[in-house]
A and B are shown apart, each in its own frame.
Chain A
Amino acid sequence: MIGRILLATGGGYFASSSAMAIFCLLLVTLGMPRADAVTLGIILVFAFYLCLILWVFAARALWRPVAVLSLLIASGYGLTAFVGHGG
């Protein structure tokens, strides 16, 4: 159970952070103004985080959320490391 709590709050947080970074970079690349992209990201990320938390607690087998969350985190950090900060 402690594993689930940590995965939901910590893992969910970093996964949503990564998803948000990817989302913002993508929108800016597609030509949306930076302020708009980030603001839209902020509005959406909380709902996304909420869904991740609920999913971690509802899932029968824990490996699925673990896999998806690590994939999200890895790709998010990989992308920002490549593109660099401040776009």
Chain B
Amino acid sequence: MKQDFRRSMGWLHTWAGVVLGSILFAIFWMGTLSVFDSEIDLWMKPATRLAPAVSTLPLESFRSSLEEAISAKAAFWNVTLPSDRDAVFHTHYGTRKKTIIRDIDPVTGRELPDAGTLGATGFIFPFHYTLNTELMNLGECVVGLASMAMLVLCVTGVIIHRKIFVDFFTFRPRANPRRLLLDLHNISGVFGLPFHIVLTFSGLVILGATYFPAGVSAVYPNTRAYFFDSNGLSFLSVKHGNPGAPVVSLDETAMRARSLWGGDEPHLVLVANPGMTTSRIAFFRGNERQVVVDRDVVAFDGPTGELLSRSPRLTPIMRAQRFLSGVHLIEFHHWVLRWLYFVLGLGSCVLIATGFLFWLESRRKKQGENFGFRLVEGLTAGSVTGIILATLAFFIANRLLPPGAQVFGLERAALEVWAFYLVWIAAFLHGWMWPRRVWIGQSAAISALALTAVVLNWITTGDHPLHTLFHRYLWPVAGMDGVLLAGGALALLTAVKLSRRMQNGAVGSRPVASETA
């Protein structure tokens, strides 16, 4: 009976992993990069590489941007204030057709030139939970399914594991490739188990109302009502109103919000329905010093400046949910923990990649010529080294394309995304057509592209690693260049070892330790 149970769990572990592993790798890879989304943005938008301002600009200096939003009949306008991860202001306003985002110099208040990129916050982070597929929430649903599979994999992985404690200390780098892969899979799995489970679970909870609307629709008229109610945003559910109304001073209302918070600073200032008689000004407190995402929102009536509401204190259940979101979203500022998230995220990538490779190595001798085997072999290369290559192509395209570039009517930002997809597809094709040397080829390509990205950053911006290392505000750029160089070196090492192994006549390929980018 017990043996039977273990076998069925083993079957589930194998096939859930093989079928959804590619999507899981993409999610974990993009999530790992999103840990440093602001820092990658700084690398991709050189104009925003500015030293932090000594004193913050008054909010009224954004009045012209607000007026612009009013005349464009925007549904909302907002401004994000600088923080120690991001030195510049960002204004957004959204009309029915599009959202317009601008970066603002924190000292002069002038608009910075448009970088023509989605950056990490506009592409990598949304890719993490939508796979860049907006068709009817399809991407989010696939991510949800893959996350459930991840939970199943974690539980079944523990069940089929016989000697969890012994394997924790077992690593045999000189053993045969299959044994080595399994050891690596076990170590990254067992060591990172709390991380895998907590991050997957909290990710599901964040999008819980999308995945399980049944609970919401049982007691609410619509999802919007639940969203407003649980976030303390009920002040937003108002009629559209009539145009032509003024918006009172943002600085004066901000001062009142600050005094309500006992001196804390807002992180975001929102004007909903700007210019309408029903406009609302809302101040969102920053979450930099706490894990719980407690968006204490203070809202004022736009035309009169009358205080409308302040978010109620979180109930214990809401606080638990906000703690889970906070653990996932890492809005708190803590450099050591942020790096730990990054390293653990790479550990998850290693876990998924070695799982794939172990599946391949255990079957290579018996079914190496089968169609199914070849299919998974190409899939593994494309989804592991392929997505790393595609990400590097995204960075390189960012540095190579001239400002305002246009090809076939596609804007510069869209071209970068095309570079990502073209390289990704090419990596899959490479894996299917030439499986024998695919790992060597793609590892070598990773190291070449990583080095190219660093050199291009130097050439196009003049910020070489030695320069960035000696300026505190350029450390994020130095960090990104450093990780690119380290990842490139690791990839080169892997390629060299693999090709030596191949020359020595050993069959099969060795694992590619996750290259970082």
**Contact with A34, one of B204, B219, B320 (Cβ below 8 angstroms):** B219
**Interface of B, helix, strand, loop or mixed by DSSP:** helix
- The answer, yes or no, to whether B230 is at the interface (CB within 8 Å) is yes
Task: Chain A residues near B226: list those with CB within 8 A.
Answer: 34-35, 38
**Contact with B215, one of A42, A49, A54, A57 (Cβ below 8 angstroms):** A42
| Most chain B beta-carbon contacts within 10 A, residue among A35, A80, A83, A86 | A35
- The answer, yes or no, to whether B12 is at the interface (CB within 8 Å) is yes
**Contact with B217, one of A40, A54, A85 (Cβ below 8 angstroms):** A85
Task: Chain B residues near A76: list those with CB within 8 A.
Answer: 214
Q: Given A35-B229, A35-B230, do A46 and B208 touch, yes or no (CB 8 Å)?
A: yes
Task: Chain B residues near A28: list those with CB within 8 A.
Answer: 219
Is B205 within 8 A of A25, CB to CB?
no
Task: Chain B residues near A35: list those with CB within 8 A.
Answer: 226, 229-230, 315, 318
Task: Chain A residues near B209: list those with CB within 8 A.
Answer: 38, 42
Q: How far is the CA of A45 from the CA of B205 in the complex (A)?
A: 9
Is B220 within 8 A of A38, CB to CB?
yes
- The answer, yes or no, to whether A37 is at the interface (CB within 8 Å) is yes
Q: Looking at the assembled complex, report how far the CB atom of A24 sits from the nearest CB atom of chain B, in whole angstroms.
A: 4
Is B12 within 8 A of A20, CB to CB?
no
Chain A interface residue bracket vs B? 35 or more
Q: Given A46-B208, A54-B152, do A20 and B8 touch, yes or no (CB 8 Å)?
A: no
Is B152 within 8 A of A39, CB to CB?
no
B222 (CB) vs chain A CBs: closest residue: A86
Q: Looking at the assembled complex, report how far the CB atom of A37 sits from the nearest CB atom of chain B, in whole angstroms.
A: 6
- The answer, yes or no, to whether B216 is at the interface (CB within 8 Å) is yes
Task: Chain A residues near B216: list those with CB within 8 A.
Answer: 24, 38
Q: How far is the CA of A36 from the CA of B212 in the complex (A)?
A: 15
Q: Looking at the assembled complex, report how far the CB atom of A81 sits from the nearest CB atom of chain B, in whole angstroms.
A: 11
Q: How far is the CA of A21 from the CA of B226 in the complex (A)?
A: 14
- The answer, yes or no, to whether B201 is at the interface (CB within 8 Å) is yes
Q: Of residues 18 to 51 in B, which have CB atoms within 8 Å of A's CB atoms?
A: none
Task: Chain B residues near A57: list those with CB within 8 A.
Answer: 8-9, 11-12
- The answer, yes or no, to whether B5 is at the interface (CB within 8 Å) is yes
A5 (CB) vs chain B CBs: closest residue: B15
Task: Chain B residues near A3: list those with CB within 8 A.
Answer: none
Is A38 within 8 A of B5, CB to CB?
no
Q: Looking at the assembled complex, report how far the CB atom of A51 sits from the nearest CB atom of chain B, in whole angstroms.
A: 9
Q: Given A50-B155, A54-B156, do A36 and B315 touch, yes or no (CB 8 Å)?
A: yes
Is A21 within 8 A of B218, CB to CB?
yes
Q: Looking at the assembled complex, report how far the CB atom of A25 sits from the nearest CB atom of chain B, in whole angstroms.
A: 5
A57 (CB) vs chain B CBs: closest residue: B12
Task: Chain A residues near B215: list those with CB within 8 A.
Answer: 17, 20-21, 23-24, 37-38, 41-42, 45
Q: Of residues 7 to 60 in A, which have CB atoms within 8 Å of B's CB atoms?
A: 9, 16-18, 20-25, 28, 33-43, 45-46, 49-50, 53-54, 57-58, 60
Task: Chain B residues near A85: list those with CB within 8 A.
Answer: 217-218, 221
Is A87 within 8 A of B230, CB to CB?
no
B226 (CB) vs chain A CBs: closest residue: A38
Q: Given A16-B212, A50-B148, A53-B148, do A40 and B229 touch, yes or no (CB 8 Å)?
A: no
Task: Chain A residues near B222: list those with CB within 8 A.
Answer: 86
Please name 25 pairs of A and B residues whose Cβ atoms are closer than 8 Å in the assembled complex, sorted by A: A9-B148, A18-B214, A21-B214, A24-B215, A25-B218, A36-B315, A37-B215, A38-B209, A42-B321, A43-B205, A43-B208, A43-B321, A45-B215, A46-B151, A46-B208, A53-B152, A54-B12, A58-B5, A58-B8, A58-B9, A80-B217, A80-B218, A85-B218, A86-B217, A86-B220
Q: List chain A positions with a Cβ less than 8 A from chain B.
A: 9, 16-18, 20-25, 28, 33-43, 45-46, 49-50, 53-54, 57-58, 60, 76, 80, 83, 85-87
Chain A to chain B: the 9 pairs with minimum beta-carbon distance, closest first: A42-B208, A17-B214, A86-B221, A41-B215, A21-B218, A20-B215, A35-B230, A24-B215, A87-B219
Q: List chain B positions with a Cβ less than 8 A from chain A.
A: 4-5, 8-9, 11-12, 145, 148, 151-152, 155-156, 201, 204-205, 208-209, 212, 214-222, 226, 229-230, 315, 317-318, 320-321, 324
Additional pairs, 16, CB under 8 Å, beyond known A42-B212, A57-B11: A9-B145, A18-B214, A20-B212, A21-B214, A21-B218, A25-B219, A34-B226, A35-B226, A38-B219, A38-B230, A42-B215, A46-B204, A53-B148, A54-B155, A54-B156, A86-B221
